[in-house]
Amino acid sequence: MKWMALKNKDEEMNLIILELRNSLASLQEQLVKEESEKKAAMDSLVKEKEARDSIERSKASLSEELDKVRAELDSANQRIESINDMYKLLQEYNSSLQIYNSKLQTDVTAAHETIKRCEKERLAAVENLHNLRGEHKSLQDQLTSSIASQDGVMKQKDALLNEVACLRMELHQIKDDRDQYQQQAQSLAVEASKYKELATNSSGLEEKCLSQGNQIQILHDQLAVAERKLQMSDTFALEKRKEFEGQKEIIEELHKCLEDAEFKLIEGEKLRKKLHNAILELKGNIRVFCRVRPQLADDSSSNHGKVFSYPTVMEYLDRSIDMTHNGQKHSFIFDKVFMPDVSQEEVFVEISQLVQSALDGYKVCIFAYGQTGSGKTYTMMGKPGQPDEKGLIPRLLEQIFQTIQALQHQGWRYEMQVSMLEIYNETIRDLLSTNRDSSRFENGVTGKQYMIKHDANGNTQVSDLTIVDVQSSREVSFLLDRAAQSRSVGRTQMNEQSSRSHFVFTMRITGVNESTEQQVQGVLNLIDLAGSERLSKSGSTGDRLKETQAINKSLSSLADVIFALAKKEDHVPFRNSKLTYLLQPCLGGDSKTLMFVNLSPEPSSAGESLCSLRFAARVNACEIGTPRRQLNIRTSNSRLSYG
């Protein structure tokens, strides 16, 4: 029993030991687990401490940033308040500008009406002057014929007076003969009684006396007829003299009317010039026109009409253009926007007033800007052999010579000189040089170097440049064809035949009014710039690459000049390129300047078109001063000036 009890206790002890061992194992496992958890907790505590430190640092930095943000918020609130005040001021200024704009519009409308009225009065005066000249000529002819007939009558009168004097002398002689014969007859009658043998002679003498008496009667009759003719000639001469005096008075009145009409015509022309230049100054002396060329057969037609759109709001009608690029819409406003369907004639009408400014003695500059293939040369020159598609340059030349012809009756006489050059790779080439070899390129350098010089009066001269005197548009057209054959062109991926240089056409106009002794000197610059293009799109290599780089550099210099003018900076970098240095008077406020920005409707050219529009918008924002009229007296120096 005891043994069994011990055995049971032993088993219980074994069970307890086993249970204790299991508990120990579990406790050891739990201890290991707790140790690992403790270690993890320690690591977590360390990390948490590090995180807390970083949070504290972040909190400090955030506090600093919060203070800065609060300070910025305060300054922003102050700026917002100042902006609100500025906005109110701008609203007031905008209202005043709108009122001033409406006033300007009213003034422009009144000026247009005055110009139209002056034009009507001028046309009426010209027509009246023409009629008066016709009447004056007819009266002069009548006066000449009257004077001629009067001279004939006076000669006839003198002849009749001479004839009457001769007849009177003959009559006096005949009377003397008659008296002598009567005395002889009486003496013969006394002696008849004494000398009957002389009866026969006495009878003969009586017959002779009778015949002489008949002759005396005939002479008396002729004398009466001559006196009647003399009286009639005196009456006719008196009537002709009265008619001559009346015609003389009429001619004097016509001369006075003619002088009044010419005076009114001159005054009307002065008023027209004044109003014309006032309108152009209101429009701004640097203006920007935008033209989108039509779709060509070679263009892709898949996205036709999706790049550009033209708002129809009355306030900006024909002045605004919208462009969509990469899903974003860009809006621009210029002085004039020409849609693709606009003809060359309609484009020319908008700029024709600038020609009159050149004839009035101002400097005028028109230049075409845009990427390759956007239609610059078409705008400036048109299509050869197609009169309906002539460009601005041929049309301007025709208008100049027509206007000069029309101004001749007002006493104006004009002399014109023309030069043409191109700027290729920052080098000037004379396109009218008779020595072609001297202007060709050899290893990138011309045989003759041309220097640009500016004088104290703001005029520009190019040394050794060929200058040609012209008297008709046909002569200038011949020179244009000759220059076109010498101009540098090349093929790129953007255009089959691309202009690789800047073309500058210059005409100097010198006018003298013989009646008023007024002298004017105007300059007309017409410029076809080379096409701007990105190197990646042009596909240029070798010489073409150098050309493209030179073109882009000169156009970039032009942009720098425009931006400096827009910002009114003290230094304007005109000398950075030959193009800007040549056109310094045109861009520096001494000229009426117009830029044509030309655009291609191709979607693939949208990026270049957007750059061109942004540049044109900066140009349109420029204020470059008021141009001066050139009234200098002509000198013996005939060197052509660009400014």
Q: Among 5-14, 128-137, 283-292, 424-433, which range has the highest average pLDDT?
A: 424-433
Establish whether 511 is an annotated binding residue. Answer: no
Phi and psi at 564, nearest 5°, equal: -65, -40
- Residue 353's identity, in one-letter code, is Q
User: What pLDDT shows up at residue 202?
Assistant: 56
What is the distance between the alpha carbons of residues 472 and 150, in angstroms, rounded to a whole number? 47
Conformational region of residue 425, where left means phi above 0, alpha means psi within -120 to 50, and beta covers everything else? left
Nearest in space to 617 (alpha carbons), one of 549, 566, 578? 566
Q: How far is CA 483 from the centre of its chain?
A: 22
Establish whether 264 is an annotated binding residue. Answer: no
For 306-337, the pLDDT digits (tens) are 789 888 877 778 889 999 888 889 999 998 99
Average pLDDT of span 184-196: 64
Nearest in space to 547 (alpha carbons), one of 444, 403, 467? 444
Establish whether 376 is an annotated binding residue. Answer: yes
Establish whether 361 is an annotated binding residue. Answer: no
Establish whether 377 is an annotated binding residue. Answer: yes
For 221-274, the pLDDT digits (tens) are 777 777 777 778 777 777 777 877 877 788 877 777 777 776 766 666 566 555
Distances (CA, A) of 462 to 213, 367, 428, 628, 639: 103, 19, 9, 22, 9
Establish whether 374 is an annotated binding residue. Answer: yes
Yes or no: say if 512 and 528 are a contact pair by the CB < 8 Å rule.
Answer: no
- Give the pair of three-digit tokens for residue 574: 């005109």
What is the distance between the alpha carbons of residues 259 and 393, in angstroms, rounded to a whole number? 37
Yes or no: say if 366 and 489 are a contact pair by the CB < 8 Å rule.
Answer: no
Q: How far is CA 476 from the centre of its chain?
A: 17
Sorting pLDDT into bands at 50, 70 and 90, what band is 205?
Answer: low
Establish whether 370 is an annotated binding residue. Answer: yes
- Give the pair of three-digit tokens for residue 351: 């700029």
User: What pLDDT shows up at residue 415?
Assistant: 92
Q: How far is CA 188 from the centre of its chain?
A: 112
User: What pLDDT shows up at residue 638?
Assistant: 43
pTM of the model: 0.56
Distances (CA, A) of 456 to 227, 257, 461, 635, 643: 84, 46, 12, 16, 11
What is the distance between the alpha carbons of residues 594 and 602, in angstroms, rounded to a whole number? 25
Give me the residues paired with residue 330 across strands. 323
Sorting pLDDT into bands at 50, 70 and 90, what band is 54?
Answer: confident
Nearest in space to 524 (alpha carbons), one of 402, 408, 382, 418? 418
Q: Which domains does the chain have, with CATH numbers?
A: 286-434+448-633 (3.40.850.10)
Sorting pLDDT into bands at 50, 70 and 90, what band is 561?
Answer: confident
Q: Establish how many alpha carbons lie within 13 A of residue 177's alpha carbon, considering only the half-sphere containing its beta carbon.
A: 15
Helix H or strand E encompassing 520:
strand 519-528
